[in-house]
Amino acid sequence: MESAGTLDVPALFLFRCRLKNVTKAISPEALQAHDVSVVFSGLRALDHVSLYVNPGEILGLIGPNGSGKTTLINALTGQVHLAGGRVVAGTEDLTGCPPRVIARSGIARSFQIVRLFNAMTVAENVETAALAQGENRRQAKERAQGLLAEYSLSGQAGEIAGNLNYGDKRRVEIARALAARPRYLLLDEPAAGMNESESGDLLKLLAALPQKHDLGLLIIDHDMSLIMRLCHRVHVLSSGRTIASGEVEAVRNDPAVIEAYLGSSPEELS
Ligand SMILES: Nc1ncnc2c1ncn2[C@@H]1O[C@H](COP(=O)(O)OP(=O)(O)OP(=O)(O)O)[C@@H](O)[C@H]1O
Ligand SMILES: [Mg+2]
């Protein structure tokens, strides 16, 4: 099986070139965190963090353990209270909105620890998300069938989700998030627990997502190889603060980033 290290490089290069044309400036449609701070009983998990994701681009969010990556997704999706700052999607100010309102406005996420309806079938998990967005039963069924095929899960459609292996559960979670037809998809370590072959396959699916599903993608992962190959821009957090943000090549060689990943060399961040 092809691994992340043997991705079709010319295709990826063209993909990145296309992205370069759309990511030079913040789009008026961008999903943005403005100066966001989150405090947990005195601990400043996020400290005046600002970032944006444009439609059609893939932003990587990286940083050491505990640097605030998941908290930033929680802030963007209304799952934590903001001590300061704003969350905006296009012209909509979503600051302080509950998660269901943010989800309805087209921002979907996956969780670091997979959260499926374990007693439901795989197909039901995906259909439920489409129904929640207002599709009728027939539309939801068709949507689920299409997404399960895209994620090579058609054979497991009737299986109880709780019985799937870990890699399959992760793919069901992404299919379910896509069922809601989001404008932005925020994935928290989607390749965690996958073997090299599975994460290589996932990388190809993720690379195609923005064009195929017309969305902006924010992805957290500790697999630097995956992040550096997949993302056009990268945002780096350390202890709740932004320490670098920009194009992959520049961030990879940034001394502050190398120091945050103490012991890493620029080659290891490639
Ligand atoms: N609900 C919470 N209550 C209290 N502290 C929290 C809570 N959620 C996160 N934290 C703390 O906030 C900080 C940032 O955590 P967060 O989970 O966002 O980090 P992360 O970058 O996602 O880490 P990892 O790479 O390990 O997933 C950590 O110190 C964490 O212990
Ligand atoms: Mg996390």
pLDDT tens track for 203-261: 999 999 999 999 999 999 988 889 999 998 999 999 999 999 999 888 988 999 988 87
Helix axes 122-132, 166-179, angle to 10 degrees: 20
Ligand 2 center from residue 65 Cα (angstroms): 7
Residues 139/57/59/83 CA torsion (nearest 10 deg) = -70
Residue % of the chain over a pLDDT of 70: 88
* Nearest CA owner, ligand 1 atom 11: 45
Strands 58-62 and 216-220: parallel
The finding on whether 121 has its CB within 6 A of some atom of ligand 1 is: no
Say which residue, 3 or 148, is predicted with more confidence: 148
CA torsion through residues 146, 149, 151, 154, sign? positive
The finding on whether 55 has its CB within 6 A of some atom of ligand 1 is: no
Q: Are residues 146 and 243 in the same domain?
A: no
Look up the pTM and report it. Answer: 0.88
Q: Are residues 37 and 127 in the same domain?
A: no
Q: Are residues 252 and 131 in the same domain?
A: no
Range of the domain at 155: 116-181
Q: Are residues 71 and 193 in the same domain?
A: yes
- Give the position, in ligand 1's atom list, of the atom nearest the Cα of 189: 27
Q: Are residues 143 and 89 in the same domain?
A: no
Q: Are residues 33 and 166 in the same domain?
A: no
- Give the position, in ligand 1's atom list, of the atom nearest the Cα of 74: 18
The finding on whether 45 has its CB within 6 A of some atom of ligand 1 is: yes
- Domain-embedded: residue 266: no
- Domain-embedded: residue 206: yes
* Nearest CA owner, ligand 1 atom 29: 66
- Domain-embedded: residue 269: no
Nearest to 47 by CA among 76, 79, 83: 83
Residues 6+ apart with CB under 8 A from 234: 59, 60, 61, 62, 227, 228, 244, 245, 246, 247, 248, 251, 252
* pLDDT at residue 24, rounded to an integer: 57
- Domain-embedded: residue 88: yes
40-89 pLDDT, tens digit per residue, is 998 999 999 999 999 999 999 999 999 999 999 999 999 999 999 999 99
Distance CA 79, CA 98 (A): 7
Of 126, 156, 181, which residue constitutes the final position of a domain?
181
Residue 34: count of CB within 10 angstroms of its CB: 16
- Classify 237 as helix, strand or coil: strand
Q: Are residues 88 and 161 in the same domain?
A: no
- Classify 248 as helix, strand or coil: helix
Of 130, 161, 181, which residue constitutes the final position of a domain?
181
Q: Are residues 8 and 88 in the same domain?
A: yes
Q: What is the total count of domains within the chain? A: 2
Q: Which token pair is 43?
A: 């601990």
* pLDDT at residue 219, rounded to an integer: 97
Q: Which token pair is 266?
A: 């620029």
Q: Are residues 27 and 100 in the same domain?
A: yes
Of 181, 206, 221, which residue constitutes the final position of a domain?
181
Q: Are residues 149 and 65 in the same domain?
A: no
Q: Where are the alpha helices (DSSP H) in 57-114?
A: 69-76, 99-104
